[in-house]
Structure 1
Amino acid sequence: MQLADRIAARNDLDAQWTRRIIGSARVIEPIKKLVLPPPESGQKKNWNAYRARFVEPTRIRAGVRFRDAHLDALQRAEQQFGVPAGIIVGVLGMETLWGQQTGKIRVLDALATLAIDFPREHPRAAARSEYFVQELEQFLLLMHHSDSDPRTPRGSYAGDMGMPQFMPSSWARYGVDFNNDGHIDLWNAEDAIGSVANYLQGHGWMAGLPVYYRIAAGVSEPVLRSLGSGGLAPRHSIEALHEQGISLVNDQGQELAPHSLAELRLALVELENRSSPSLFVAATGNLQALTRYNPSRYYAMAVTELGAAIAAVSPQRSQGR
Structure 2
Amino acid sequence: MRFADEVAERRGLDVEWTRRAIGQAQQLGVVQRLMQPSPPGTRRNWAAYRGRFIDPVRIAAGVRFWQEHGEALTRAEQEYGVPAEIIVGIIGVETIYGQQMGDFRVIDALATLAFNHPPEHPRAADRIAYFRGELEQFLSMQNRREQDPLQPLGSYAGAMGMPQFMPSSQVRWAVDFDADGKVDIVGSAADAIGSVASYFKGHGWHTGMPTHYPVQLDAAPEDLAALLAPDILPTFSVFDFTGRGALLDGEALEHAGPLALVELQNGDAPSSYVAGTENFYVITRYNQSSNYAMAVIELGREVKQARQR
- Residue 50 (str. 1) matches residue 49 (str. 2): yes
Question: What is the CA deviation profile of residues 207-262 of structure 1, one whole-angstrom value per residue up to 9, with x for unaligned ones?
Answer: 101110112x574685656534332222333344455665535xxxxx2374x24x
1:118 corresponds to 2:117: yes
Identity among equivalent pairs (%): 51
Residue 35 (structure 1) aligns with: 35
Whether contact under 8 Å (2:219, 2:246) holds in the other structure is: no
Match of 1:288 among 269, 274, 281: 281
Asked if structure 1 preserves the Cα contact closer than 8 Å seen for 2:77 and 2:83, the reply is yes
Q: CA deviation at 1:140?
A: 1.0
The structure 2 residue matched to 1:302, chosen from 295, 299, 308, is: 295
* Aligned mates of 1:257, 1:14 — CA distance in 2: 56
Instruction: Note if contact 1:212-1:284 (Cα within 8 Å) is conserved in structure 2.
Output: yes
- Which moves more between the two structures, 234-243 or 27-36? 234-243
Give the 3 Å change call, closer, same or farther, for CA 227–124 of structure 1 in structure 2: closer
Judged with a 3 Å threshold, the aligned counterparts in structure 2 of structure 1 residues 273 and 127 are, in CA distance, closer, same or farther, namely closer
**1:268–1:282 contact (8 Å) kept in structure 2:** yes
Counterpart AA for 2:151: T
Name the SS of the counterpart of 2:91 in structure 1: helix
Whether the 8 Å CA contact 1:247–1:256 is kept in 2: the answer is no
RMSD over aligned Cα atoms: 2.2
Corresponding residue number in structure 2 for 1:265: 258
Other-structure match for 1:88: 87
Secondary structure class of the residue paired with 1:314: helix
2-structure distance, mates of 1:242, 1:121: 40
Q: C-alpha offsets along residues 149-197 of structure 1, whole Å, 9 cap, x if unaligned? A: 1111001111111111111111101111111111111112111111111
CA distance in 2, matches of 1:117, 1:243: 48
Query: What is aligned with 1:13?
Result: 13
Contact 1:265/1:284 (8 A) holds in 2: yes
Q: Match of 1:84, as an amino acid?
A: P
Asked if 1:313 corresponds to 2:306, the answer is: yes
Q: Following the alignment from structure 1 to structure 2, what is the Cα–Cα distance between the partners of residues 218 and 118? A: 41
CA distance 1:133–1:245, shift in 2 (3 Å): closer
Task: Give the alignment's TM-score, normalised by structure 1.
Answer: 0.88
Q: Deviations over 1:255-301 (max 9, x none)?
A: 2374x24x322112221223433222111111111111111101111
1:256 partner SS:
helix
Q: CA deviation at 1:44?
A: 3.0
- Say which one has the larger Rg: 1
Q: What is the alpha-carbon distance in structure 2 between the residues aligned to residue 87 and residue 221 of structure 1?
A: 35
Q: Which amino acid aligns with 1:256?
A: E
Matched to 2:260, the amino acid is: A
| Cα pair distance change 1:114/1:256, threshold 3 Å | closer
**Paired letter, 1:151:** L
TM-score, normalised with respect to structure 2: 0.91
Residues 106-149 of structure 1: CA distance to partner in whole angstroms, max 9, x if unpaired? 11111122223333444443332222221111111111111111
Match of 1:107 in 2: 106
Partner letter of residue 299 of structure 1?
Answer: Y
Which consecutive residues of structure 1, in runs of 5 or more, have no partner in the other structure?
250-254
How many residues get paired? 307
